[in-house]
Amino acid sequence: MPSLKHEKLCLAPVAGVDEAGRGPLAGPVVAAAVILPPKGIPRGIDDSKKLAHADRARLHDRLRACAIVGIGIVEAEEIDTLNIYWATMKAMTLAVEALGCAPGHVLVDGNRLPKWGFAATPIVKGDSISLSIAAASIIAKHTRDTIMLAHADAHPHYGWHSNKGYGAPDHLRALREHGPCPLHRRSFAPVAAAYRARETLLV
């Protein structure tokens, strides 16, 4: 289970940062920054991938009520312009800036850091080690899932209610049969192939 071991070694306030949505074929990449309260931290915080949807939703709401939270969102069109790596770095930067206060230190999930002026430490598998990063993973994942569910009814072919934009078989099949929509990332190979196929049919 994640703990505050790393946070205790850093200058307060410490913000944990994580992202959701690097791999999907559609929708934004979302990053969250979270500064946990000194007391009253919700129990059950863990890597968002290990939590059931209902537990993520409950912890998301409790964290939004007690922690300082910043969210950064980069949409599909900008992902295609920047590439997914730099779009993720931008989302993380936006999330820290959205905190409304300067953190003393930032703990970031992964092995790379955005180019910013904050003291920061990357932690591989940080969402399983650091409580602040795990909290950020919950906020980022729940926020992105909510965005994709909000678009699912408008684009029913792709199965976003279940796959949230990832390349699941039903999503890939719909790409081949119906082509991409404006929320798809044109720079991602399966989407680019679907665009080429549609253009061939129109010639």
Annotated binding residues = 18-19, 109
Structure-block tokens of residue 52: 């059931």
What residue numbers does the annotated binding site for a divalent metal cation cover?
18-19, 109
Which SS3 state, helix, strand or coil, does residue 126 take?
helix
Strands 29-35 and 120-123: unpaired
> Taking a C-beta distance cutoff of 8 angstroms, is the pair 33, 143 a contact?
no
Which helix (H) or strand (E) segment holds residue 50: the answer is: none
Which candidate, 169, 148, 156, 149, places its Cα nearest to that of 26?
148
Question: Considering only CA atoms, which of 51, 66, 39 is closest in space to residue 2?
Answer: 51
Strand partners, 69: 34
**Bond into 122 cis (ω within 30):** no
Whose structure tokens read 């730099």? 86
Among the listed residues 117, 122, 121, the one whose alpha carbon sits nearest the alpha carbon of residue 102: 117
